[in-house]
Copies of this chain bind each other. A is one copy, B any other.
Amino acid sequence: MNKKLFLGIVGLGTVGSGVIKSLELNSETFKRKYGMEYEILGVSASDKNKSRSIKIDHYPWFDDPLSIPDIEKINVIIELVGGEDGIAYDLSIKSLKKNKNLITANKALISKHGKELAKISDESNLFVGYEASVAGGIPVIKTLREGLLINKVDKVFSILNGTSNYILSTMNETNRDFEEVLGEAQELGYAESDPTLDINGYDSAHKLSIINALIFSEFPKVSDINIKGIEKIKLIDHNYANEFGYNIRLIATSSLEEHKFYKEVSPMLVKESSSLGKINGAQNIIFLHNNENGNLILEGEGAGAGPTSSAVISDLVDCYLGTKLKFFGESYENLSLGSSTLDTKERCYYFRVFLSDQKGAMAELTSLLSKNNISIDKIIQKGDTHLEDEKSSTPVVMITYPVSIGVIESVVSEISGTDLISMEPIFLPILKEV
């Protein structure tokens, strides 16, 4: 729009404070490089007096965030509250109705209300930016909307949640169990005090739905995505995966094959030496597969004050420069809603059970698998690796030949009801493509 930006910023946590710090530090640079000038005319957060890395005294404070879009002069609202509904949603809608441009880092909001926001954005001259909602420091939205215009991506494989990747890679590296590493991640600030959405895969699913819309012009509901979290991964699973040459990572993937969409978030076994298998700590990666033109791989910091506020600022500059694109690349009217198939293709699985220490147990298990047409490629049973609380059963780990998820699930439900095993078995897909 090329006129001075008057900003209202709601949400002053790590990202909000990072954005304000960047705006304060870089005002001369932005003026010089883009001609962009700005002024913060209103800030709001749940707690005015919380200790922050920045001073907010000199910015007009509003107890009610929803009163900020009422300020006539403000032309950009930056929503950094989070959450799919509540203040974030109300603020976003009100801002757009009041003819304010909107920038948000909120993947849950976009994932749930993206179509409504897309409609408002596409039908107006308002700028709605959400670069920071997916993979913070990696400009993936920009790349998909502006950089890869004629490259037809047919599959995406990604690691989009830094917390769960930190937990998985740290369990593996330091040989410690899930709970211990999670506790440490919370102490270090890598994990929220309530890490549910990170760990159960839903945060990745929110981000995947956005990427999916940009790539395939198909905008799925979270319930259209096969979602499995990392809660049940044990240290021994990492150890066994390593023996087979794999690491376990929480993979968010979608693909279009023979006119069918496959969308899934699940811990998977990926080759240790692959791009995805090597991602450690809180890094993110997005692997865009393209049959014609080769792959494009983007890798970087997915979260944190620096990377995420950089993405917010990048939106702000686009807003200033007047870069107006369809919200999801394609007009909202042409977006198909997610197909509800949760089917997956046949593939190999890592399958781990705790088999009771009773005569004939292994024979019983393998005949059950055979009866269900599950063929076993590799199997490991080490008699001495009992879990501390499972003295009377032994872990048995198998790598299957390709099989459908339905078959695996029915076998699991069949053996779960018997005394053949203790604890719930787990089965993880093996990703061979990357």
Chain B residues lying within 8 Å of A334, measured Cβ to Cβ, are: 32
Main secondary structure of the interface of A (DSSP, over half): mixed
Query: For residues 310 through 335 of chain A, which have their beta carbon under 8 Å from a beta carbon of chain B?
Result: 310-311, 313-314, 317-318, 321-326, 329-331, 334
Nearest B residue to A295, CB-CB: B300
Asked whether, in the complex, the Cβ of A325 is within 8 Å of the Cβ of B34, the reply is yes
Interface-located stretch among A56-64, A141-149, A176-184, A242-250:
A141-149
Query: For residues 281 through 326 of chain A, which have their beta carbon under 8 Å from a beta carbon of chain B?
Result: 283, 292-301, 304, 306-307, 309-311, 313-314, 317-318, 321-326
Asked whether, in the complex, the Cβ of B299 is within 8 Å of the Cβ of A331, the reply is no
Nearest B residue to A21, CB-CB: B150
Per assembly, the copies of the chain total 2
| Interface residue A139 (Cβ < 8 Å from any Cβ of B) | yes
| Interface residue A273 (Cβ < 8 Å from any Cβ of B) | yes
| Interface residue A124 (Cβ < 8 Å from any Cβ of B) | no
Query: For residues 113 through 165 of chain A, which have their beta carbon under 8 Å from a beta carbon of chain B?
Result: 131, 137-139, 142-143, 146-151
Asked whether, in the complex, the Cβ of B143 is within 8 Å of the Cβ of A293, the reply is no
**Band of interface residues on A:** 35 or more
| Interface residue A340 (Cβ < 8 Å from any Cβ of B) | no
Shortest CB-to-CB span from A190 to chain B, Å, is 13
Identify A300's interface contact among B278, B297, B300, B313, CB under 8 A. B297
Asked whether, in the complex, the Cβ of A143 is within 8 Å of the Cβ of B151, the reply is no
Nearest B residue to A282, CB-CB: B294
Shortest CB-to-CB span from A158 to chain B, Å, is 14
Interface string of A77-115 (1 = CB under 8 A from B): 000000000000000000000000000000000000000
Identify A151's interface contact among B150, B273, B298, B307, CB under 8 A. B307
| Interface residue A33 (Cβ < 8 Å from any Cβ of B) | yes
Q: Which residues of A contact B (CB under 8 A)?
A: 22, 25-26, 30, 32-34, 131, 137-139, 142-143, 146-151, 273, 275, 278, 283, 292-301, 304, 306-307, 309-311, 313-314, 317-318, 321-326, 329-331, 334
Asked whether, in the complex, the Cβ of A147 is within 8 Å of the Cβ of B151, the reply is no
Asked whether, in the complex, the Cβ of B151 is within 8 Å of the Cβ of A318, the reply is no
Q: List 28 A-B contacts (CB under 8 A).
A: A25-B150, A26-B150, A32-B331, A33-B325, A34-B325, A137-B151, A138-B296, A139-B143, A142-B142, A143-B143, A147-B311, A147-B314, A148-B310, A149-B317, A273-B278, A293-B301, A293-B306, A293-B307, A294-B300, A294-B301, A295-B301, A297-B297, A297-B300, A298-B299, A321-B323, A321-B324, A321-B325, A323-B323
